[in-house]
């Protein structure tokens, strides 16, 4: 019985390898955040090593990301991450959303929610030092300050349908 179950599992795993989710590699940066706001090279490095795999249009896939069920799980993180926030699509967001997402960046980094723990477990280079976290948060706050100085307060209010569910 156990042998049959194991065999069935192996067969399922083999079949699962045939499912190949599309990869996030369009590399489209036409609406990148840097087309609107400057980003220092050091912040670029932090974003590249700790955030870009899930929040850009170009994921760097490790070899094991082609193996199911990991491929599915990783693909899901990328899809979900990008849907919430994408550095490469940022310039297409309304100003209120830009402001709100940058606030989220600060919050997520401060609370240690981002980068995802399952990611830093393997990608050790993505474990940010306190200095790196501060650099990233200061950069985001700097943009929020300039947005606040340049737009009327009511344009920064998040409208009902897109308001965060918290």
116 scored as a contact of ligand HEC (CB under 6 A) = yes
Nearer to ligand HEC, 15 or 70 (CB): 70
Rounded to 10 degrees, the C-alpha dihedral 148/153/158/164 comes to 60
Nearer to ligand HEC, 77 or 151 (CB): 77
The vertex-159 CA angle with 133 and 154, nearest 5°, equals 80
How many chain residues touch ligand HEC (CB under 6 A)? 20
Diameter of the chain by CA atoms? 70
* Near ligand HEC by CB under 6 A: residue from 33, 55, 86, 98: 55
Nearer to ligand HEC, 15 or 38 (CB): 38
* Near ligand HEC by CB under 6 A: residue from 24, 32, 33, 53: 53
Q: Closest distance between ligand HEC and the C-beta of residue 104, in Å?
A: 4
CB 55 within 8 A of CB 24: no
d(CA 144, CA 77): 27
* Near ligand HEC by CB under 6 A: residue from 23, 31, 44, 77: 77
Q: Which residues contact 139 (CB under 8 A, 6 or more apart)?
A: 39, 40, 43
Residue 62, preceding bond cis, omega within 30 degrees?
A: no
Half-sphere exposure of 160 (CA within 13 A, CB side): 0
d(CA 114, CA 50): 8
Q: Closest distance between ligand HEC and the C-beta of residue 23, in Å?
A: 14
Q: Closest distance between ligand HEC and the C-beta of residue 12, in Å?
A: 26
33 scored as a contact of ligand HEC (CB under 6 A) = no
Return residues touching ligand HEC (CB under 6 A). 50-51, 53-55, 77, 80-81, 84-85, 101, 104-105, 108-109, 114-116, 119, 164
């Amino acid at each position: 019985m156990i042998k049959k179950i194991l065999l069935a599992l192996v067969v399922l795993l083999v079949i699962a390898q045939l499912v190949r989710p599309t990869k996030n590699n369009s590399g489209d940066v036409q609406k990148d955040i840097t087309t609107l706001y400057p980003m220092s090279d050091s912040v670029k490095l932090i974003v590249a090593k700790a955030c870009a795999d899930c929040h850009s249009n170009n994921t760097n896939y490790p070899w094991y990301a082609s193996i199911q069920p990991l491929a599915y799980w990783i693909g899901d993180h990328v899809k979900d991450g990008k849907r919430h926030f994408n550095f490469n699509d940022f310039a297409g967001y309304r100003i209120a959303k830009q402001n709100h997402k940058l606030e989220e960046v600060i919050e997520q980094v401060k609370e240690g929610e981002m980068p995802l723990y399952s990611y830093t477990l393997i990608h050790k280079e993505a474990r940010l030092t306190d200095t790196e976290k501060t650099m990233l948060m200061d950069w985001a706050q700097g943009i929020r300050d300039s947005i606040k100085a340049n737009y009327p307060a009511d344009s920064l209010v998040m409208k009902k349908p897109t308001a965060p569910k918290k």
